Structure 1
């Protein structure tokens, strides 16, 4: 009897303790299912699809124990995302567009915070909204919502062939304005918590100290770790070192009351632009890039899915007036900051026309960082719930409405657009692959006597005609220099990857030594990096 009782008790305890593990498994299964479905059946960016999936599943309460908390985002999820983005940022494009990126990222956040805050407070006062928020609370919301997260937008940019300068500015601005918004948020929240009078001069002084301190710490640590990796030629150790650097730069900066976010960004930029050149072999660079690409995919997937869950539980209809006012205030704040600062950019750098400015405004979607900042507001602050509601509403609107419509906006403005010959080439190539696959299946059916000779001959002749027709079209399209260049690069990369597989297989069976194999793979990786 006791044995049975003990077994039942242990079984009950196991189920209770395993609930979070089961939720995590279901979470990853849902993420993979959505990602696979989008890849094969839809052109919808997978991050937006994950939000929809999260919203739908929020009604079934499948994930009661999984939530976005400030500790989870700031200390676990955010540093790797920032490091990966900084590490992969194109150094040449960053240098070419450093002026507009810095102006939009630094001054754009400050302008947007104040315009959004004053507009929000004025609107509440004008319409005598219940529970009118004071100016400092409105400015705090402005800081919460000022960082942009254009992951879904950049995915659409790649599909539509948007000019590199446009996507580089938006990507660079998004990376740097994360750090700026966190610093501004900290200054305003500190003034609210301490009940001190907010001084713009004092705030500016503290902003410079915190931002500069974070940049200095991240640069020093990034430089130090870059020199360490130069002494090692082991991709596993070097991946581990970049992981340590990611969290160490954040923790160190926060310990010295500097910006951990800016520190991680500086460290990532240092390793990506300097460390990869002096301290990483081509094989290590490929391995490190693949590792951080995977980490970014997992974290982004989890965050966007949970955003869907969190947005889904907000009572949208009850607080609809707050959300509408917030959305309009944020859009106007973003518009004012872009229009005003572009006048400065156009005087000191290449001109940015009105079409691009429109894309900057509408492409400034909000994401996980905004939600983390809102959740990090002290629970005893009386306006925390209103700020949370407005943040969830704005994030949901920007990711779903702005994220889904940015492609149509680009088409209306005639920005980007893929080469028609290149698209036609890919279409014919896809048809040829499909026909060849069908031809192989036909041969197999005939060999296994599953089809008569007469029908086999008819279908074989039909396939041969289709193959010849597709080949003729591809040969004609390949005369286009852009198509020829694309075909050469993709074909060469496929051959290089096949060479790499063959060498790895030979090493596995002892046909060639590990030392020789690694030298050969290193050379191939160098060529692959050059192609990319």
Structure 2
């Protein structure tokens, strides 16, 4: 991707954000994604190549950090139980059920193995709310639903990466699946990443007091967002969870300082510019990349898999809340439906798909086509439907 292409994509993103008048109805990232699909037919943009490293190492840390830093510590404290349950046990259970469904229904028709079906499910379980959270808060009277969706999406990214990595190793025959080693690795990668992020987030929250220059405080937040991500990956723990934990910890500590507004103003002024900048390029190039992986002949199965993923997610969410007395009463079928519909597949699913493509070298084209198709439907249908669904369920 050349500098001129990046500048042009940024200009397109700027134009879309500037002209947007009805963000509550049509999420800007969805518009950018659809524009990206249109741009893929223009020769000038066909030379753009999207790799897993570009998305994972450059875009993801900043977007995760912004999301975590903005997440309300009070909301996390209030909904920690349900968020943790949905993003760990709930995600694994969803992946298992969806994987078995794909194997039973698609296995014989598309020559899909059980591991391949489970790999598909692990790719389609992480959620990416993007602007859905702001839509939920403006369209729904129940803000806790938006908090749960936002919190779940931050943490389940890390869970999905661990699950995907193990299943990919089995799929490529690098190693066999063993339950106890899997649990041990899962706990090490996830808990290790979270603890590392908490430690560094706390350290930066103290170090920021060393200087009163806003520019240096912003520099320190950049170091934290990207530094902790790559340190964690180097140590073999979850960079995703480390970055999320660091952002939440930094926000939590700022809530207990007398100069909270000063620090938040400094960081917000910078990250409020970075986020739409990255989102503009990200969703445009995701749209450009998408057209190379869509298969017309599989659309019937893609639609079936998409519908099944929503139904299974709703069943899991409805079942999980029964273990929490407060949520059993507070999260009725309407709220469960909103949480289900808000579980949009996006950035992390595409990252995992690109990882699969790189590791399999063309031997997993069917898996890629199925998953890219479901991601396409999720980004378009769920994003565009969240506002009218919120309004309808509110009535």
Say which SS state the counterpart of residue 296 (structure 2) adopts: coil
For residue 368 of structure 2, what is the aligned residue in structure 1? 388
Give the drift of 1:41: 9.6
Give matches, 1:247-286, under 5 Å: 247-275=226-254, 277-278=256-257, 282-286=261-265
1:84 to 63, 66, 72: 66
Give the number of aligned pairs: 394
Task: For 2:282 and 2:50, locate their aligned partners in 1 and report how far apart those are by CA, in whole Å.
Answer: 8
For residue 384 of structure 2, what is the aligned residue in structure 1? 404
Give the drift of 1:190: 2.6
Task: For 2:184 and 2:29, locate their aligned partners in 1 and report how far apart those are by CA, in whole Å.
Answer: 38
Give the drift of 1:206: 1.1
1:202 matches 2:184: no
1:211 matches 2:190: yes
State whether residues 230 and 278 of structure 1, in contact with CA within 8 Å, keep that contact through their aligned partners in structure 2: no
Higher relative contact order (CA 8 A, sep 6+): 2
Task: For 2:119 and 2:97, locate their aligned partners in 1 and report how far apart those are by CA, in whole Å.
Answer: 12
For residue 146 of structure 2, what is the aligned residue in structure 1? 167
1:352 matches 2:334: no
Would the alpha carbon gap of residues 162 and 25 (structure 1) be closer, same or farther in structure 2, given more than 3 Å must change? same
2:287 to 308, 333, 338: 308
For residue 29 of structure 1, what is the aligned residue in structure 2? 11
Give the drift of 1:64: 2.2
Task: For 2:258 and 2:175, locate their aligned partners in 1 and report how far apart those are by CA, in whole Å.
Answer: 48
Give the drift of 1:162: 3.6
Cα deviation, 1:90-113, whole Å, max 9, x if unaligned, reads 011111111111111111110111
1:69 matches 2:48: no
What do you get for the CA RMSD once the two structures are aligned? 2.2
Cα deviation, 1:22-58, whole Å, max 9, x if unaligned, reads 2112111211122222237994221111122112222
Cα deviation, 1:492-532, whole Å, max 9, x if unaligned, reads xxxxxxxxxxxxxxxxxxxxxxxxxxxxxxxxxxxxxxxxx
For residue 155 of structure 2, what is the aligned residue in structure 1? 176
Give matches, 1:490-509, under 5 Å: none
Structure 1 residue runs without a partner (length 5+): 1-18, 416-532
Task: For 1:359 and 1:100, locate their aligned partners in 2 and report how far apart those are by CA, in whole Å.
Answer: 15
| TM-score scaled by length of structure 1 | 0.70
For residue 98 of structure 1, what is the aligned residue in structure 2? 80
Task: For 2:24 and 2:63, locate their aligned partners in 1 and report how far apart those are by CA, in whole Å.
Answer: 26
Structure 2 residue runs without a partner (length 5+): none
For residue 101 of structure 2, what is the aligned residue in structure 1? 119
2:217 to 238, 253, 257: 238
| TM-score scaled by length of structure 2 | 0.93
State whether residues 233 and 280 of structure 1, in contact with CA within 8 Å, keep that contact through their aligned partners in structure 2: no
1:366 matches 2:345: yes
For residue 504 of structure 1, what is the aligned residue in structure 2? none
Cα deviation, 1:221-255, whole Å, max 9, x if unaligned, reads 11111111122211111110110011111111111
Of structures 1 and 2, the larger Rg is shown by 1
